[in-house]
Amino acid sequence: MQSPIGIFDSGIGGLTVANAIRQVMPHENLIYFGDTAHMPYGDKSAEAIKYYSLKIGKFLQEKGCKAIVIACNTASSLGYQDLKDFLGDDLPILNVIDPVVEFCSLQPQYHKIGVIATKATIKSDVYAKKLKIALPNIEVKSLATPLLAPMIEEGFFNNNISKTIINTYLSSAKLKKIDSLILACTHYPLIRKEINEFYQGKVDILNTATIVADDVKQKLEVLNLTNTSKEEPKHQFFVSDKTKAFETSTQLFFGDKINLTLKNIWDKV
Protein backbone atom coordinates (compact mmCIF):
# COMPACT_ATOMS: atom_id res chain seq x y z
CA MET A 1 0.00 0.00 0.00
CA GLN A 2 2.88 2.39 0.71
CA SER A 3 4.51 1.69 -2.64
CA PRO A 4 4.46 4.68 -4.99
CA ILE A 5 2.14 5.40 -7.88
CA GLY A 6 4.11 5.74 -11.11
CA ILE A 7 3.10 8.50 -13.53
CA PHE A 8 4.64 9.37 -16.88
CA ASP A 9 4.25 11.81 -19.72
CA SER A 10 6.36 13.30 -22.50
CA GLY A 11 6.99 16.40 -20.40
CA ILE A 12 5.27 18.76 -17.96
CA GLY A 13 1.69 18.00 -19.03
CA GLY A 14 1.39 14.94 -16.83
CA LEU A 15 2.15 17.14 -13.83
CA THR A 16 -1.47 18.33 -14.06
CA VAL A 17 -2.55 14.73 -13.48
CA ALA A 18 0.09 14.13 -10.80
CA ASN A 19 -1.02 17.24 -8.95
CA ALA A 20 -4.69 16.22 -9.19
CA ILE A 21 -3.84 12.76 -7.84
CA ARG A 22 -1.99 14.37 -4.96
CA GLN A 23 -5.04 16.50 -4.18
CA VAL A 24 -7.46 13.56 -3.95
CA MET A 25 -4.92 11.13 -2.42
CA PRO A 26 -2.62 13.31 -0.29
CA HIS A 27 -0.90 10.37 1.43
CA GLU A 28 0.28 8.64 -1.74
CA ASN A 29 3.95 8.49 -2.71
CA LEU A 30 4.51 9.43 -6.34
CA ILE A 31 7.21 8.75 -8.91
CA TYR A 32 6.98 10.88 -12.03
CA PHE A 33 8.90 10.39 -15.27
CA GLY A 34 8.91 13.23 -17.80
CA ASP A 35 10.34 12.11 -21.12
CA THR A 36 11.53 15.59 -22.01
CA ALA A 37 14.19 14.24 -24.37
CA HIS A 38 11.49 12.99 -26.75
CA MET A 39 8.88 15.67 -26.20
CA PRO A 40 6.47 16.21 -27.95
CA TYR A 41 5.08 12.72 -28.50
CA GLY A 42 2.40 14.09 -30.80
CA ASP A 43 4.61 14.19 -33.89
CA LYS A 44 6.36 10.84 -33.26
CA SER A 45 5.51 7.55 -34.97
CA ALA A 46 3.29 5.00 -33.25
CA GLU A 47 6.24 2.61 -33.03
CA ALA A 48 8.40 5.21 -31.27
CA ILE A 49 5.68 6.08 -28.77
CA LYS A 50 5.12 2.41 -27.96
CA TYR A 51 8.86 1.96 -27.43
CA TYR A 52 9.10 4.96 -25.10
CA SER A 53 6.08 3.75 -23.15
CA LEU A 54 7.50 0.26 -22.68
CA LYS A 55 10.89 1.55 -21.51
CA ILE A 56 9.37 4.02 -19.06
CA GLY A 57 6.83 1.47 -17.83
CA LYS A 58 9.62 -1.03 -17.16
CA PHE A 59 11.58 1.64 -15.28
CA LEU A 60 8.60 2.47 -13.06
CA GLN A 61 7.98 -1.22 -12.43
CA GLU A 62 11.59 -1.63 -11.33
CA LYS A 63 11.13 1.32 -8.97
CA GLY A 64 8.47 -0.71 -7.17
CA CYS A 65 5.38 1.21 -8.30
CA LYS A 66 2.06 -0.39 -7.31
CA ALA A 67 0.26 1.13 -10.32
CA ILE A 68 1.24 3.11 -13.41
CA VAL A 69 -0.73 6.03 -14.80
CA ILE A 70 -0.04 6.92 -18.44
CA ALA A 71 -0.56 10.66 -17.99
CA CYS A 72 -0.34 11.32 -21.72
CA ASN A 73 -3.17 11.04 -24.23
CA THR A 74 -0.85 10.17 -27.11
CA ALA A 75 0.83 7.35 -25.17
CA SER A 76 -2.56 6.25 -23.81
CA SER A 77 -3.98 5.97 -27.32
CA LEU A 78 -0.99 4.20 -28.87
CA GLY A 79 0.94 2.48 -26.08
CA TYR A 80 -1.59 1.50 -23.41
CA GLN A 81 -2.44 -2.01 -24.59
CA ASP A 82 1.17 -2.85 -25.44
CA LEU A 83 2.31 -1.74 -21.98
CA LYS A 84 -0.43 -3.82 -20.31
CA ASP A 85 0.60 -6.87 -22.30
CA PHE A 86 4.29 -6.24 -21.60
CA LEU A 87 4.05 -5.78 -17.83
CA GLY A 88 1.33 -8.36 -17.19
CA ASP A 89 -1.87 -8.36 -15.15
CA ASP A 90 -0.24 -8.03 -11.71
CA LEU A 91 0.55 -4.33 -12.19
CA PRO A 92 -2.46 -2.05 -12.82
CA ILE A 93 -1.94 0.19 -15.85
CA LEU A 94 -4.30 3.17 -16.09
CA ASN A 95 -4.78 5.56 -19.01
CA VAL A 96 -6.25 9.05 -19.28
CA ILE A 97 -8.76 8.35 -22.04
CA ASP A 98 -11.23 5.81 -20.64
CA PRO A 99 -12.12 7.86 -17.50
CA VAL A 100 -12.97 10.90 -19.65
CA VAL A 101 -15.10 8.85 -22.04
CA GLU A 102 -16.93 7.31 -19.08
CA PHE A 103 -17.50 10.78 -17.59
CA CYS A 104 -18.97 12.03 -20.88
CA SER A 105 -21.27 9.01 -21.09
CA LEU A 106 -22.90 10.18 -17.85
CA GLN A 107 -23.63 13.69 -19.17
CA PRO A 108 -26.98 13.60 -21.06
CA GLN A 109 -26.66 17.30 -21.87
CA TYR A 110 -23.71 16.64 -24.19
CA HIS A 111 -24.69 16.35 -27.84
CA LYS A 112 -21.75 17.79 -29.76
CA ILE A 113 -18.38 17.15 -28.13
CA GLY A 114 -15.19 18.80 -29.33
CA VAL A 115 -11.77 17.16 -28.93
CA ILE A 116 -8.46 19.00 -29.22
CA ALA A 117 -5.21 17.06 -29.00
CA THR A 118 -1.87 16.31 -30.64
CA LYS A 119 -1.67 15.07 -34.21
CA ALA A 120 -1.02 11.49 -33.08
CA THR A 121 -4.02 11.37 -30.74
CA ILE A 122 -6.36 12.86 -33.33
CA LYS A 123 -5.01 10.54 -36.03
CA SER A 124 -5.70 7.52 -33.80
CA ASP A 125 -9.36 8.68 -33.61
CA VAL A 126 -9.52 6.99 -30.22
CA TYR A 127 -11.84 9.51 -28.57
CA ALA A 128 -14.34 9.54 -31.43
CA LYS A 129 -14.41 5.73 -31.56
CA LYS A 130 -14.83 5.26 -27.81
CA LEU A 131 -17.37 8.09 -27.47
CA LYS A 132 -19.45 6.65 -30.32
CA ILE A 133 -19.57 3.28 -28.55
CA ALA A 134 -20.60 4.88 -25.25
CA LEU A 135 -22.94 7.45 -26.86
CA PRO A 136 -24.12 6.27 -30.31
CA ASN A 137 -26.03 9.50 -30.98
CA ILE A 138 -23.23 11.85 -30.01
CA GLU A 139 -21.46 14.06 -32.55
CA VAL A 140 -17.70 14.30 -32.09
CA LYS A 141 -15.64 17.09 -33.64
CA SER A 142 -11.87 16.53 -33.48
CA LEU A 143 -9.09 19.02 -34.17
CA ALA A 144 -5.32 18.56 -34.06
CA THR A 145 -3.64 21.45 -32.21
CA PRO A 146 0.07 20.62 -32.55
CA LEU A 147 1.50 23.97 -31.43
CA LEU A 148 -0.11 23.96 -27.99
CA ALA A 149 1.97 21.32 -26.18
CA PRO A 150 5.38 22.73 -27.26
CA MET A 151 4.13 26.23 -26.43
CA ILE A 152 3.13 25.15 -22.93
CA GLU A 153 6.31 23.13 -22.48
CA GLU A 154 8.35 26.26 -23.15
CA GLY A 155 6.29 28.31 -20.70
CA PHE A 156 4.46 30.41 -23.29
CA PHE A 157 1.00 30.57 -21.78
CA ASN A 158 -1.10 33.26 -20.13
CA ASN A 159 0.29 35.84 -22.57
CA ASN A 160 -0.55 37.43 -25.93
CA ILE A 161 1.33 34.77 -27.89
CA SER A 162 -0.63 31.91 -26.38
CA LYS A 163 -3.94 33.78 -26.67
CA THR A 164 -3.44 34.30 -30.40
CA ILE A 165 -2.56 30.65 -31.04
CA ILE A 166 -5.38 29.33 -28.85
CA ASN A 167 -8.00 31.61 -30.39
CA THR A 168 -6.89 30.68 -33.91
CA TYR A 169 -7.33 26.98 -33.20
CA LEU A 170 -10.65 27.34 -31.39
CA SER A 171 -12.06 29.49 -34.20
CA SER A 172 -11.82 26.49 -36.55
CA ALA A 173 -15.04 25.53 -38.31
CA LYS A 174 -14.46 21.97 -37.06
CA LEU A 175 -15.36 23.08 -33.53
CA LYS A 176 -18.41 25.11 -34.50
CA LYS A 177 -21.41 24.87 -32.14
CA ILE A 178 -19.86 22.36 -29.72
CA ASP A 179 -21.41 22.18 -26.23
CA SER A 180 -18.41 20.59 -24.51
CA LEU A 181 -14.68 20.32 -25.10
CA ILE A 182 -12.27 17.56 -24.14
CA LEU A 183 -8.74 18.81 -23.55
CA ALA A 184 -7.24 15.58 -24.85
CA CYS A 185 -3.66 16.40 -23.93
CA THR A 186 -2.53 16.59 -20.32
CA HIS A 187 -0.67 19.83 -21.09
CA TYR A 188 -3.90 21.62 -21.94
CA PRO A 189 -5.39 22.07 -18.44
CA LEU A 190 -2.60 24.64 -17.99
CA ILE A 191 -4.40 26.85 -20.54
CA ARG A 192 -7.93 25.93 -19.46
CA LYS A 193 -8.56 29.47 -18.23
CA GLU A 194 -7.70 30.96 -21.62
CA ILE A 195 -9.85 28.40 -23.43
CA ASN A 196 -12.76 29.15 -21.13
CA GLU A 197 -12.32 32.88 -21.79
CA PHE A 198 -12.57 32.26 -25.53
CA TYR A 199 -15.88 30.43 -25.13
CA GLN A 200 -17.12 32.91 -22.48
CA GLY A 201 -18.51 30.08 -20.36
CA LYS A 202 -20.82 28.83 -23.13
CA VAL A 203 -18.94 25.54 -23.60
CA ASP A 204 -18.24 23.03 -20.84
CA ILE A 205 -14.44 22.69 -20.67
CA LEU A 206 -13.75 19.31 -19.06
CA ASN A 207 -11.25 19.26 -16.21
CA THR A 208 -9.66 16.07 -17.48
CA ALA A 209 -6.90 15.97 -14.85
CA THR A 210 -9.46 15.87 -12.03
CA ILE A 211 -11.55 13.25 -13.85
CA VAL A 212 -8.50 11.01 -14.23
CA ALA A 213 -7.39 11.52 -10.62
CA ASP A 214 -10.83 10.54 -9.30
CA ASP A 215 -10.72 7.43 -11.47
CA VAL A 216 -7.26 6.46 -10.20
CA LYS A 217 -8.46 6.83 -6.61
CA GLN A 218 -11.54 4.70 -7.25
CA LYS A 219 -9.58 1.93 -8.96
CA LEU A 220 -6.90 1.78 -6.24
CA GLU A 221 -9.60 1.65 -3.56
CA VAL A 222 -11.23 -1.32 -5.30
CA LEU A 223 -7.85 -3.07 -5.41
CA ASN A 224 -7.12 -2.18 -1.74
CA LEU A 225 -3.96 -0.39 -2.81
CA THR A 226 -4.52 3.05 -1.25
CA ASN A 227 -1.90 4.22 1.22
CA THR A 228 -3.33 4.40 4.74
CA SER A 229 -0.09 5.67 6.27
CA LYS A 230 -0.14 9.16 7.77
CA GLU A 231 3.55 9.70 7.10
CA GLU A 232 4.67 12.61 4.93
CA PRO A 233 4.53 11.36 1.32
CA LYS A 234 7.68 11.21 -0.78
CA HIS A 235 7.64 12.36 -4.39
CA GLN A 236 10.40 11.64 -6.90
CA PHE A 237 10.76 13.30 -10.30
CA PHE A 238 12.81 11.85 -13.14
CA VAL A 239 13.43 13.42 -16.55
CA SER A 240 15.22 12.14 -19.62
CA ASP A 241 16.53 15.65 -20.29
CA LYS A 242 16.69 18.51 -17.79
CA THR A 243 14.87 21.63 -18.92
CA LYS A 244 14.25 24.87 -17.06
CA ALA A 245 10.57 24.81 -18.01
CA PHE A 246 10.07 21.39 -16.43
CA GLU A 247 11.83 22.38 -13.24
CA THR A 248 9.80 25.59 -12.98
CA SER A 249 6.52 23.76 -13.60
CA THR A 250 7.35 21.06 -11.07
CA GLN A 251 8.03 23.72 -8.45
CA LEU A 252 4.76 25.44 -9.39
CA PHE A 253 2.80 22.32 -8.45
CA PHE A 254 4.93 20.70 -5.77
CA GLY A 255 6.93 23.53 -4.18
CA ASP A 256 10.64 24.24 -4.06
CA LYS A 257 11.67 21.06 -2.28
CA ILE A 258 11.71 18.65 -5.21
CA ASN A 259 14.03 15.84 -6.13
CA LEU A 260 14.58 16.27 -9.88
CA THR A 261 16.84 13.56 -11.28
CA LEU A 262 18.20 13.20 -14.79
CA LYS A 263 17.78 9.56 -15.82
CA ASN A 264 18.87 7.84 -19.01
CA ILE A 265 16.85 4.65 -19.39
CA TRP A 266 17.30 4.17 -23.12
CA ASP A 267 20.57 2.22 -23.03
CA LYS A 268 19.17 -0.44 -20.71
CA VAL A 269 18.16 -3.80 -22.14
* Strand residues in the chain grouped as ranges (E): 5-9, 30-34, 67-70, 93-95, 112-117, 139-144, 180-183, 204-205, 235-239, 260-262
**pLDDT for 257:** 62
The answer to whether residue 268 scores a pLDDT higher than 60 is no
C-alpha to C-alpha distance for 224 and 79, rounded to whole angstroms: 26
pLDDT in tens, 104-149: 999 999 999 999 999 999 999 999 999 999 999 999 999 999 999 8
Q: What is the mean pLDDT of residues 1-24?
A: 92
pLDDT band at residue 172 using 50, 70 and 90 as cut-offs: very high
Q: What is the mean pLDDT of residues 76-89?
A: 94
Q: Is 255 exposed, middle or buried (0-12, 13-18, 19+ CB in 10 A)?
A: exposed
Domain boundaries, the chain: 5-95+210-262, 98-208
Phi, psi angles (nearest 5°) of residue 182: -95, 120
CATH number, span 98-208: 3.40.50.1860
Q: State whether residue 126 is helix, strand or coil.
A: helix
Average predicted confidence (pLDDT) for the chain: 91
CATH topology of 5-95+210-262 equal to that of 98-208?
A: yes
β-partners of residue 204 are 180
The answer to whether residue 248 scores a pLDDT higher than 70 is yes
pLDDT band at residue 256 using 50, 70 and 90 as cut-offs: low
Helices 98-105 and 126-134: crossing angle, nearest 10°?
Answer: 40
Q: What is the mean pLDDT of residues 72-83?
A: 94
The answer to whether residue 64 scores a pLDDT higher than 90 is yes
**pLDDT for 102:** 97
**Is 228 in contact with 26 (CB distance < 8 Å)?**
no
Q: What is the mean pLDDT of residues 28-36?
A: 95
**Is 207 in contact with 17 (CB distance < 8 Å)?**
no
C-alpha to C-alpha distance for 183 and 187, rounded to whole angstroms: 8
Active-site residues: which are they? 72, 185
**Residue 202 CB contacts under 8 Å (≥ 6 apart), including other chains:** none
Q: What is the mean pLDDT of residues 10-21?
A: 90
Q: What is the mean pLDDT of residues 148-167?
A: 84
CATH number, span 5-95+210-262: 3.40.50.1860
C-alpha to C-alpha distance for 167 and 194, rounded to whole angstroms: 9
Q: What is the mean pLDDT of residues 148-174?
A: 87
Pairing of strands 93-95, 235-239: unpaired
